[in-house]
Amino acid sequence: MASDSGSKAPPVVTRFAPSPTGYLHIGGARTALFNWLYARHHGGRVLLRIEDTDRKRSTQDAIDKIIDGLDWLGLEFDEPPLFQSDRAERHAEVARKLLDAGHAYKCYATPEELEAMRAEQRANKQPMRYDRRWRDRHESEAPEGAPYVIRLKVPTEGETTIADEVQGKVTVRNAEIDDYVLLRADGTPTYMLAVVVDDHDMGVTHIIRGDDHLNNAFRQLPIIRAMDAIEGGWPDPVYAHVPLIHGPDGAKMSKRHGAVGVEAYRDDEGVLPEALFNYLLRLGWGHGDREEITKSEAIELFDLDGVGKGPARFDIKKLQNLNGHYIRAADDARLAAIVAERIGPEADIALLTEAMPVLKTRAKSINELVEGSAFLFAKRPLEMTDKAAALIDAEARERLAGLSKMLHVQNDWTIEALEATTKSYAEALELGLGKLAQPMRAALTGTTTSPGIFDVLVLLGKEESLARIDAQALPAGTEEND
């Protein structure tokens, strides 16, 4: 849409506003990502607001986990977090302005009266909403000193249309919106009021959030427009309501679908931040057929016209495959440090760094890297898996003993030299290399899966390799009976 001559749109300001009552949900993380990318793409600012007005359920631990999860994803904000609980006086001030200007009113209905009203509506199968019984009454009709709430005087005629950047035009009849509470009887603000005041004071121009908040937009706009009529400078924000994330079964993403918190994907699933960043980006937004998109490319490409109108389905296999791509592309020293932290003090970062090129070729998670590197730090005698133990029969032990003799005199401990020696020994036994490599792998790692056997020999070094082989080999000068 063309703008008026000489007018200039304000700089883009977006916000992410989580409630700190638990972990950073995967859906919240995607909302934060979309807000961050939209602001960065348009050269604007992105802000963080902690909506902690529910003091009973909000915890410092949850706040810390949310901020930690956002940091881990690489989403930095342009100002320190704003805490909604610090602004109750400002919220109440706006409610009083609305009251004084006739856009709000005092409601003296008691809890008993409201419950009776709801019971009657239920019995008559009517919509459950406040019946505006105090909207046009004077406060002198109330008992002296009676407690009251302040309710917004919502327009009852006509309709409101929002040109949503994702959902398109959405229209609601004003009569469907009740006169909801702005300020409770104890003077504390409601969520609906606090959100509007904070968005205005923070200069938010674009509200990008889940489409479960679409109805809230129609409840919040009357506050914005009333305050604009009172003092000016309260423009409507641009809305973009993004479809929610669903599980593979099409139901709203929940714990029954597996991990739903960012922390769990990092700590339990072993996902790298760049992989989750990329996956969340593609979860409901697309640019052609591209799957792998870097952070800098995402900033360049992201806009709201690429967001789909239908719910995105979370696919753990796609995330794992993407994670494998980023593991293979990651710096070896960085991966080694992550793996070492999980292994503990016995981990040798230098050895892990050396091993990483062969460890990461097929790994789809940090967990698989930890598991794949376990043989490097295993103590003798090695614990054997059942499958590995089954490979070390009498014939295998005899072959390992012969191999050990050849490797003891091996001076060139490189992949090429070790491969040549082992192949030569296998040929002398008229065996395929695999018939010798599998019991070697079992003896060296205690498992039946590992990096290439010659990589394993080099990584363990000559002394440790021979000690492990000799522990399983038939002792020299002995024979095993049936």
What are phi and psi for residue 76, nearest 5 degrees?
-90, 145
Alpha helices in 344-432 (DSSP H): 349-359, 366-373, 386-391, 394-408, 415-428
Which tokens sit at 327?
């593991």
> Residues forming the annotated binding site for ATP?
255
CA distance 252 to 26: 12
Instruction: Give the Cα separation of 351 and 373 in Å (integer).
Output: 10
Cβ–Cβ under 8 Å, residues 217 and 38: no
Contacts of 410 (CB under 8 A, 6+ apart): 417, 418, 421, 462
Q: What is the CA radius of gyration of the chain?
A: 32
**317 tagged catalytic:** no
Cβ neighbours of residue 109 under 8 Å, at least 6 residues apart? 117, 130, 133, 134
Catalytic residue among 8, 56, 169, 255: 255
Helices (H), 205-309: 214-231, 262-267, 273-282, 295-301
CB atoms within 10 A of CB 343: 17
Which structure tokens are listed for 124? 């008559």
Half-sphere exposure in the Cβ direction for 400 (13 Å, CA): 26
Q: Which segments are annotated as binding site?
A: 255
Rounded CA separation 360/323 (Å): 11
Beta-ladder partners of 261: 25
- Whether the bond between 451 and the residue before it is cis, its omega within 30 degrees of 0, is no
Virtual torsion, Cα 247, 339, 361, 322, nearest 10 deg: 20
Annotated catalytic sites, by residue?
A: 255
